[in-house]
Chains A and B, each alone.
Chain A
Amino acid sequence: MSAPQGSVRQQTLLWVAQRASAAVLALCVAVHLATLIYAVRGGLSAAEILARTHANVVWLVFYTVFVLAAAVHVPIGLRPVLAEWAGWRGRSSDAALLGFAMLITWMGLRAVAAVFA
């Protein structure tokens, strides 16, 4: 038997968070890719794109949501990968994944701040 990893309710809520963040990501990735293709086909340079994102609150909110959804989604998905492929279960695994979630959040929000500022 695997080591206990929080209560059954917490494990179920992790699954709910995984599904909910996947729904947000599906929308975010679609908008992101469509915008990317549109901008490149229009022949915009990096400087011109940055000029458009600068001080634009809509893109700030959009990419903040994108980063937070990824930070929720990715570590929960990695959790069974670590358990089933590396045999890493229990509190140490959950602590490492929490750290990874914070790393993604920090790196992502830093990038969002850079295109907004």
Chain B
Amino acid sequence: MSRLKVRVWRGSGEGRFESFEVPRHASQTVLDVVTYIQRVLDPTLAYRFACRVGMCGSCAMTVNGIPRWTCRTHVDVALKDRGELAIAPLRNLPVIRDLVTDMTAFFDKWAQAKGGFQGSRTRREPFHAIAPEKESRKRIDAAIECIGCAVCYSACDVVARNPGYLGPAALNRAWTLVNDERDAARAERLRAVAGDAGCHACHTHVSCTERCPKQLSPTAAIAGLKRETARAALRGEL
């Protein structure tokens, strides 16, 4: 059986890479590799995962320099032409230990971007029906499948340079709500996502869209927010 050389980040801010060798299998995922190391070679290795099928967004890591969901990333793909894997925690988030990051800032920014739906009807009123073919509904469909894995946040150079920036995921979430005609907090949300810490800080590098494992386009969502906030600003509504 062939062996795979793996370097894994250990420690937190003061950490370093540690080398391991794991058995190589067909269709092996990067998460399989990390799990093997933790279960067989070094039980002290800290990492995070839950569903293993690309739904929960817990297992994102930096694999050979690229932020990826490790449960759905085959070792073959991550290796490309390189002989070994280097597995590190996500960039742009503080490292708690080994491969585990502190995602508090990432989720706090969802709240800052008014990422929570705010309805205006009570349970005693009828449902607010939205036709599936409606354009605003289609824009929501295109952006709604985010699993909150923070791969986009880790890939974004603006987040790295401008720590206050809300980031692609929070802005993408806000975009789905801006297009939701049932939502009652539109003006407040547009104010929350505009300006130097919001959508206008985006340089359209498109790294988020390139790396998103769900093939969403936060870049398009942010462009939409730029248009909507500009309209609101020109009307004096921002």
| A13 CA / B236 CA spacing, docked (Å) | 10
A2-B164, A83-B162, A84-B162 given as contacts; is B234 within 8 A of A16 (CB)?
yes
The interface size bin for chain A is 10 to 19
Q: Is A106 an interface residue (CB 8 A)?
A: no
Q: Which listed residue, B203, B236, B238, touches A8 by the CB 8 Å rule?
A: B238
* Nearest B residue to A2, CB-CB: B164
The answer to whether B233 touches A16, judged by C-beta atoms less than 8 angstroms apart, is yes
Q: Is B229 an interface residue (CB 8 A)?
A: yes
A8-B191, A8-B238 given as contacts; is B196 within 8 A of A2 (CB)?
yes
Q: Is B201 an interface residue (CB 8 A)?
A: yes
B187-238 at interface with A (beta carbon < 8 Å) = 191, 194-198, 200-201, 203, 226, 229-230, 232-234, 236, 238
Contacts of B201 in A (CB 8 A): 80
The answer to whether A1 touches B200, judged by C-beta atoms less than 8 angstroms apart, is no
The interface size bin for chain B is 20 to 34
Q: Which listed residue, B163, B194, B236, touches A1 by the CB 8 Å rule?
A: B163
User: A-B pairs with CB below 8 Å: how many?
Assistant: 52
A contacts with B: majority SS: helix
| A5 CA / B200 CA spacing, docked (Å) | 13
The answer to whether B158 touches A9, judged by C-beta atoms less than 8 angstroms apart, is no
Separation in Å of the B160 CB from the closest CB of chain A? 9
| A89 CA / B196 CA spacing, docked (Å) | 10
Q: Which listed residue, A5, A9, A13, A85, touches B196 by the CB 8 Å rule?
A: A5
Q: Is B80 an interface residue (CB 8 A)?
A: no
Q: Is B128 an interface residue (CB 8 A)?
A: no
Q: Which listed residue, A11, A84, A89, touches B195 by the CB 8 Å rule?
A: A11
Which A residues form the contact surface with B (CB < 8 A)?
Answer: 1-2, 5, 7-9, 11-16, 19, 80, 83-85, 89
Not counting A2-B197, A14-B200, A80-B201, a sample of 5 additional A-B residue pairs whose C-beta atoms are within 8 angstroms of each other reads: A7-B195, A9-B236, A11-B196, A13-B233, A83-B196
Which B residues form the contact surface with A (CB < 8 A)?
Answer: 158, 161-164, 191, 194-198, 200-201, 203, 226, 229-230, 232-234, 236, 238
Top-9 shortest CB links A-B: A11-B195, A84-B161, A12-B233, A8-B195, A9-B238, A15-B200, A1-B164, A8-B194, A12-B194
